[in-house]
Chain A
């Protein structure tokens, strides 16, 4: 039904057919915010890390969208770099989480309050 309504107007692209930059950026923003909120709210260290990865991916989506918008490959190239760095950083972060787990036998982030005061 939306399809027919959209094709009634001759020159406006159909919504389903035209996903503009705006839409990609919204998706990216929503993903980023979800990641951020998750990072700020969750206690489990691995879930916190997962949310940081989500934020990475959100940034990646924004970059790809801008790359497509500007019709050059700069954004895509940058995303490759971001993904590589994210992977390396994931390895390091998980190594740290393992070490932290070994220290306190729990994945709860709230036990690390020694810097209080």
Chain B
């Protein structure tokens, strides 16, 4: 602990190669208001003290991993691993809340300065005495308000989803169950390292750890080839992004001489000054390239163009995995990276616009794909990709000159709300899947919300859909509105605002397409492929009520054909409504989504802003603090003559409601069966587009053609070279003794006279030699 303090002091004391402003306040006078300047100064003066809650946050999940492993070794066949996990993660959440309270001084209090909590020395290697010749990466945690914001929802959602998974995975009790929860806990630990780490190496450890856990959990059903392929795809595509991240970390070390946030942000101050004034030439290339590299990693992890292809396939994993990892937490790691490294991102005048463009284009692109899919989990996956695009766009539309607390907070705000409602949506879809024997096709399910026992699922789904569509006064509405407002505030990137607005309409449409097809309408269902194990569940009271109450509506499309065993099992199938664990979790999340949005509007917006501004992101903030007088720049932007924020509230509501209405007309009105709706009549009008969208615009095929096929060809060429050249060389050398023998063998002909000739010629040669020697 003292060692790391000494290191920090030594780094600060060394003569810098660049001009370091005498005091921070002087440098920032006239650019920052006192409150933000104080916050920025606080960020720079990072102190270090030990704090038990912070240290325990990652330790509880590790305990969970160990417990689950031990239970697996002892062949436990109960739900104990799940409840232990819930316990550990709840403890972690309690520590996160305590950390938050310590860091912010209570609800609505003034945030304290960021501090680091040192656990143990991990990497400390010096190969020389000069400043850039020491590599320090300790296992320490950097606690500021951004960290607190992230850890609250990571641990909170982790707890809830573990509870959900205790019931969802209950048919798999035994080693599989323990394996699931071990990987689950490991995931939360890695995410904690990622978010709380105080240096980029610990972030990278967490980054790879979540990638690993994602692989383990997507491939949980390892006997299914599609799941294994999806797991490999996720890991490999993530790895491609990791090239960028690794290079970024390396370049950061090369330039700044350290990978620790406190040191980096301190040394980046002069560059931030130059960036604020638009003096881009004063920033060396080795610094301005760093954000470009880091964003590649962020795009890989957070499934943006072109590295998004793994996320839809990742739906092969169990639904709790999809909810936690691929909706709420892991995929936000990229957004976290950009938010944390925002001081570096503003140093390149093009970095944030690129992020914004990629985010918005991804949002639009994946929304179009989502509109044409039939698998509800896949639709939610594409919607996750789309919403992640929103988050990146939210972060990207800020620039160093007009960076306000509000616009910088838009992205993280959407992360926070999206985590809740997307988890809610996935968990509802999962409940449907769980209850209908794995059926996810929206052409085969209808009217689920009216079936007995499914009310809470329906309610949860409705709340989630409203949030996702940005219906007024839901949490999703406020966060989406904040992003749209930031986009329209930026004069150069207004187009992004329009793209996001159109995408909002599409989002509302496809979200409510799912809702109106699956949850309302005539009650019909067709069980999925996993229906066999559910026959015994079907004979409880809920299902019998369903049978008795609505025999006519209990339409079995293939009830007449009971020839083979499968069909007979399906004919007996009764949907299995979710049990208490799932319902409790869904209800909690629904209420949370409504509370965060509805009741806490003015508080929530500024709360997130405050959390973001007082973190390291605050270093990049200039111009205005939240709520102060508006001057030229961010807050003055007009949208067709109206103030941006108010205009956006109205416009995005209108667009959202329009999307919902279109979905209603096309998918609910006049629909009598699960399979067809009015939309099917309109499809031929659009020509080949729906088919292309359904086939995901053939991106996977394109990648196969561009990357897999050349690699396949190259591998065959190398195989040939290996076989002919390398093996050929070795075989030739091996052939030489055989060849030698082959040439000499005729002398052993077995012909007596031949041997005699040999003897005679040998004597003759000796004779001749003897004559010549004696001469």
Point out residues on A near B: beta carbons under 8 Å. Answer: 36, 39-41, 43, 109-110, 112-117
Contact = CB atoms under 8 A, between A and B. Distances in A.
A113 B753 contact: no
Contacts of B751: 110, 113, 116
B752 A110 contact: yes
B753 A116 contact: no
A36 B762 CA distance: 13
Interface of B: 745, 748-753, 756-757, 760
A112 B752 contact: yes
By Cβ-Cβ distance, the 3 closest A-B pairs, closest first, are: A116-B750, A113-B750, A109-B752
Contacts of B750: 112-117
Nearest to A115: B750
B748 A41 contact: no
14 contacts: A36-B760, A40-B756, A40-B760, A41-B753, A110-B753, A112-B750, A115-B748, A115-B750, A116-B748, A116-B749, A116-B750, A117-B745, A117-B748, A117-B750
Contacts of B748: 115-117
A77 B748 CA distance: 40
B753 A109 contact: yes
Contacts of B756: 39-40
A32 to B, nearest CB: 11
A41 B754 CA distance: 9
Contacts of B745: 117
A116 B753 CA distance: 12
A20 B115 CA distance: 124
A115 B757 CA distance: 16
Given A110-B751, A115-B750, 6 more contacts: A40-B753, A43-B753, A109-B752, A112-B752, A114-B750, A115-B748
A117 B749 CA distance: 6
A54 B329 CA distance: 107
A112 B745 CA distance: 18
A116 B751 CA distance: 7
B749 A40 contact: no
Contacts of A109: 752-753
Contacts of A117: 745, 748, 750
Contacts of A112: 750, 752
A39 B750 CA distance: 16
Nearest to A116: B750
Contacts of A36: 760
B750 to A, nearest CB: 3
Contacts of B752: 109-110, 112-113
Nearest to B753: A40
Contacts of A116: 748-751
A41 B756 CA distance: 9
A39 B755 CA distance: 11
A110 B752 CA distance: 6
B770 to A, nearest CB: 16
A62 to B, nearest CB: 14
A49 B757 CA distance: 15
A115 B754 CA distance: 12
B375 to A, nearest CB: 72
A40 B762 CA distance: 14
B100 to A, nearest CB: 90
A109 B171 CA distance: 88
Contacts of B757: 40
Contacts of A39: 756, 760
A114 B749 CA distance: 9
B752 to A, nearest CB: 4
A82 B458 CA distance: 123
A117 B741 CA distance: 10
Nearest to A117: B748
Contacts of B753: 40-41, 43, 109-110
A39 B753 CA distance: 8
A115 to B, nearest CB: 5
B91 to A, nearest CB: 83
Contacts of A113: 749-752
A25 to B, nearest CB: 15
